[in-house]
Amino acid sequence: MTMKKEYLIYKLSDEIKNTCKIPNEAFQQYGVKRGLRNEDGSGVLVGLTNIGNVVGYERDKDGNIIACPGRLYYRGYELDELVSPVLAEKRFGFEETAYLLLSGKLPDREELHAFQELLNENMALDHRTVVHLVDLEGSDIMNILARCVLEMYTFDENPDDISRDNLMRQSIQLIAQFPTIVAYAYNIYRHSVYGHSLNIRFPLEKKTIAENFLYMLKGEKYTNLDARVLDLLLIIQEEHGGGNNSTFTVRVTSSTRTDTYSSIAAGIGSLKGPLHGGANIKVVNMFHHLKEAIVDWTNEDEIDTYLNRMLNKDAYDKSGLIYGIGHAIYTMSDPRAIELKKLAGELAKEKGREKEYEFLKLIEQEGIKCVTNHRKTKKPICANLDFYSGFIYEMIGLPQEIYTPVFAMARIVGWTAHRIEELHFDNSRIIRPAYKNIQDQRNYVALKDR
């Protein structure tokens, strides 16, 4: 009798349950670093870069990790040095830091103006992509973004050339067109699912990436502060070292000499994961729940009681997590969260959401305390970027469907900068780490004897 396909799928799945098992002690036996992380939680050194540097701890003379305030560097400049003048002068800075990350130097006024014009000229999509976007309607904008990027290969007259000039041309096009793709894809989704008018707005001249994105997404329904806060979000998400999962994915694929579009699409797939770019949505949903579950938003005891229930898997989604608290590298503080916290307060005043902002700050304060006590650790724990980014997206009026795509709009700068570096540093080689096979050798059994 022929085996039913549904049962075969179940049978294969059940069999693989055992073959996937690898004992924990085997990792120590063979000196394998799970997740490319050392026993003390630090990352395994796998490469060198001149682009970004993430500092969350220092080491003493014996090599032990010592907590320190978090620092993030773009091409040797500390993030705060780049952000402070932008905030003080109430101007836009995404294009300036993009120029820095791509070239390695800060632009002068003439260079910055020319770069801004170049990005603006490249924002419009090929009409074939716009037509195809309509056919790609769906709720997962990250998948649509990846498919559009792959499609750009077919429209590129020189897609496989990995010379510096061609890579820079492709990088500028991608940085400029990501916002357009995301805005159009969401408006098409909004039209097909909710029946709203389909608005395909052409990017405006002499507008920044942040301003044009909000305009293409929702017309004139945004404030100057909305645009400046989005600009800051883009700045602080442009780059985070070569070891973050999506950037490492881009570097690994680039090392094979594949084309730019295939490599960037792989990076998009990595960023889409809920353990990477999708974490801010989890924070927002948790915050919405806490606003309902906690009666007195100022009562620390009530907040602590509920957060401890969450950590004990007795409340909310029973994951045992407080989303947005803790980071793989940062210990005492995440410099990106510090910058966002300031802007979130300013934006909350404009939007009349100060009480929610104060409640969120209290959740951060008590969440850190509760997690520290629950883990019984002396290691400092901090709120990460995602803790405030989702709340800011919400105040700007961005729908959850594009939270992670907006992250991609920023990180495309870091991806392209790392791709160029991977392909053009001296003696670059394909990235090919080793896996130790621990399966015992077996003797083949003929089909008739099985």
Provide the annotated active-site residues. 276, 327, 386
CA distance 322 to 387: 10
* Cα four-point dihedral sign 103, 106, 110, 114: positive
Alpha-helical segments (H) within 312-435: 335-351, 354-375, 385-396, 403-424
Q: Are residues 101 and 413 in contact, defined by beta-carbon separation less than 8 angstroms?
A: yes
Residue type, 254: S
Other CB atoms within 10 A of residue 97 CB: 26
Other CB atoms within 10 A of residue 271 CB: 26
Q: Are residues 444 and 268 in contact, defined by beta-carbon separation less than 8 angstroms?
A: no
Q: What distance lies between CA 181 and its chain's CA centroid? A: 17
Q: Which positions ≥6 away from 319 have C-beta within 8 Å? A: 313
Residue type, 175: I
How far, in Å, are 35, 90, 268, 275, 389 from residue 333 at the CA level? 23, 25, 27, 20, 15
Structure token pair of residue 423: 């392909």
CA distance 406 to 230: 9
Q: Are residues 159 and 153 in contact, defined by beta-carbon separation less than 8 angstroms?
A: yes
Is residue 134 packed enough to be buried (19+ CB in 10 Å), middle (13-18) or exposed (0-12)? middle
* Cα four-point dihedral sign 94, 99, 105, 108: negative
Which is it for strands 52-59 and 77-78: parallel, antiparallel or unpaired? unpaired
Q: Are residues 267 and 235 in contact, defined by beta-carbon separation less than 8 angstroms?
A: no
CA distance 257 to 43: 26
Structure token pair of residue 203: 């990017």
Query: 157: left (phi > 0), else alpha (psi -120 to 50), else beta?
Result: alpha
